[in-house]
Amino acid sequence: MTSRRGWTLLAGAGALAMFTAPILGWRAGHLVEASRGLPQTSAFLVTGGLAVRTRPEHRGAQRLLLVGLVMAAGFASGSAYSAYLQDRSTVPTWGWAAVLALQGLELAQGAALLALLAVFPDGRYHRGYERGIVLAGLAFIAAVLVAERLGSVQVTYPGNFVWGQQVSAPNQGAQLGLLPLGAVGRAGYQVGFLLLLACGVAMLGLRFRHFEALERRQTAWPLLGVLFTVVWGLLLGTVSDSTSTLPGAVLYLLYAPAALAVPVSILIGMLRHRLLDIDVVIRRSVVYSVLWLLISLAYVAVTLSFGVAVGGRVPLALAVALTIAATLGVAPARRRLERLADRLVFGRRVSGYELIAQLGARLESTPNAEDLANSLAADVRAGLRARWVRVVLDADGRPVIGSAGDPPPEAAPTLSVPLATESLAVGAIECGPRREGRYSEADLHLLESLGRQAALAVHNSWLTVQLADRLAELTASRARIVQAEDASRRRLERDIHDGVQQELVAVLARLGLARNQLRRDPHLAELSLAEVTSDAQRALVSLQDLARGIHPPLLTDRGVVEAVRARAAHLTLRVEVRESGLNGSTRLAPDVEGAAYFVVIEALGNVLKHAHATRAWVDFSHDCGALRVQVRDNGSGFDVDAAPRHGLMGLRDRVEALGGTMTVTSAHRAGTTVTASIPAGEPSHV
């Protein structure tokens, strides 16, 4: 049966069976004994019913409900048989069947838990032997019951389904020759429930190693519930002598936390980690109330147990004093458990002060804009308990989006505030719906205050990052300038050595030759001196060209525009030089003109070497206290991001050293444009 309606009807039938036990007990005067299975059974039925209601086809949800159904059937059957025995006062001839049925229902609880753990949490068998172990568990139950039927003269059920300690019945079908088989059956019954549960936990533990992170978190909850049940049972077992004299109601109260641990842990896993693939919408306050009630019951049980344990061994006054001391001593543990329950159900809740403090610490350690946006979103989501939060930062004109809680791409925010002060806006905080209820005015005021604090802090953080970047760039620029100066000196040394120096060496050699010729043939010496004069003139021209390359005289005499025109006239490329606001009588600072001149010369040199252009344009303009220089060509263009920029890096450093900027734009078959803007002040007239 996989339909939602069918499983819902089964859950309803289980609820009716569950309430049958206390009704029968109330009529017979055994209400407390008949109601001891009510908390655990109702917890499994509610959890299983919720699971199959949401995912009726999920095998794990079906088996979770099956555990509750078996419990309900066991307590209802046990109460019905106990009521029958009380009315008749004699054991019926079919009593053996009732007793074996109760044994079978108790073992069936273990088998149902085994079947649940075998497919936990995704509803699938992961190993071939897992299904076999479940079937072996069912076969084990059948073998135990058959062994007792054939080999036990008296069958006994000492479990929790019935009122009192136990019920027994003669078994007329027992065979004397099979009495050893009956002993085996009784032993199997005594260890059967724990054996089946241990097999289920062992299977789950073996699969736990291969689970992903989410599956491990889901599986941890039931394992914690089982561990708590075992530890609580062992603790109560150590004081069993002292608790045996307690009233039945108090004794059942002591065992209630152990009975409820597993179903409650599964319910918490469903709420927090979509356990059994179930995404439920339940008032978490209800779950917290249940946990608070369990903690309170455990608190009362511990203090009562201590009082009973010492009551018979010490004087009354001392016993009262010790009980009060124990109550005060356990109170901090109770408060810690209540805080833990609050965190388990609601998650960690952050106060407004903590939220702002966390933000300050986060900004100090997270200068990166992307990380900062994600961290801020996570903190706001935790503080306001939002389903999702999106933080948008405007990082120097580049939008940076951080999120927490996986917001839908087109989702409209329920609550939104700007990250801004009176004069500064750096982004916005957008919050989705609250996980429970609506946002209050206090939430809005907290978010607005956080937005103002964060805006200033984010801006200061960015300024710090920008300052650090500029400092790093300045350091690198200085290093490049030093390297460029060294390279220029080496190039100048090489040019002098290979050019003018060789020509001067030739002049000296001819002078020596002419001196020797003066003694032998003055006419021949005169011819040699004429050649020396010609060589010296060539060396002078070379030296002048070298000097003009270092700093052209025309740049000093006539300014940058005329110097560029003179240099362009000697190029094999057609270059058009245009100016606006500058002429021969208008001059700028020498370092500004020098930087502009070498930007143009380097750019034109690159055009000649790489661009395959037929024309180039050089534009000078002076506006708003800045000299703007632009060099364009109609060449082949290039990929600006991929191409090396070693040639222009030195020019960029020179321009930026004067407080200016330089950009290069280019595209394939669309030419290249080099633009430099240098602060120049107002021009002077000469």
pLDDT tens for each residue of 72-113: 898 888 888 888 888 887 888 888 898 899 889 999 998 998
Three-state DSSP class for 521?
coil
Q: Is residue 359 a contact partner of residue 426, using CB atoms and an 8 Å limit? A: no
Q: Is residue 595 a contact partner of residue 626, using CB atoms and an 8 Å limit? A: no
Once rounded to an integer, what is the mean pLDDT over residues 426-430? Answer: 85
- Judge if the upstream peptide bond of residue 121 is cis by omega within 30 degrees of 0: yes
Higher pLDDT, 400 or 301: 400
pLDDT at position 315 is: 62
Once rounded to an integer, what is the mean pLDDT over residues 319-340? Answer: 66
Element (H, E) at 613: none
Query: Which of 111-120, 124-133, 264-273 is least confident?
Result: 264-273
Round the CA-based radius of gyration of the chain to a whole number and report it: 46
pLDDT at position 653 is: 76
For tokens 């058959």, what's the residue? 146
Tokens matching residue 627: 């000299």
CB atoms within 10 A of CB 142: 12
pLDDT above 50: residue 281: no
Query: Which of 411-415, 445-449, 639-643 is least confident?
Result: 639-643
CB neighbour list of residue 508: distance below 8 Å, 6 or more residues apart: none
pLDDT above 50: residue 283: no
Amino acid at 56: P
pLDDT above 60: residue 539: yes
Strand pairing report for 626-633 and 615-623: antiparallel
pLDDT at position 258 is: 74
Q: How far is the CA of 85 from the CAs of 166, 168, 173, in angstroms?
A: 12, 11, 21
pLDDT above 60: residue 316: no
Higher pLDDT, 275 or 674: 674
Q: Tell me the C-alpha distance between 631 and 12, whole Å.
A: 86
pLDDT above 90: residue 541: no
pLDDT tens for each residue of 24-68: 888 888 877 777 778 788 888 887 887 787 778 888 888 888 988
Buried b (16+ CB within 10 A) or exposed e, 223-252: bebbebbeebeeebeeeeebbeebeeebbb
pLDDT at position 618 is: 94
Q: Please report which confidence band the pLDDT of residue 491 belongs to, taking 50, 70 and 90 as the band edges.
A: low
pTM, two decimals, is 0.46
Q: Tell me the C-alpha distance between 219 and 126, whole Å.
A: 14
Amino acid at 184: V
Nearest to 653, CA basis, from 632, 633, 678, 629: 678
Q: Please report which confidence band the pLDDT of residue 280 belongs to, taking 50, 70 and 90 as the band edges.
A: very low
Return the percentage of the chain with pLDDT > 70, whole number.
73
For all residues of the chain together, what is the average pLDDT? 77
Nearest to 311, CA basis, from 371, 258, 245: 245
Q: Please report which confidence band the pLDDT of residue 260 belongs to, taking 50, 70 and 90 as the band edges.
A: confident
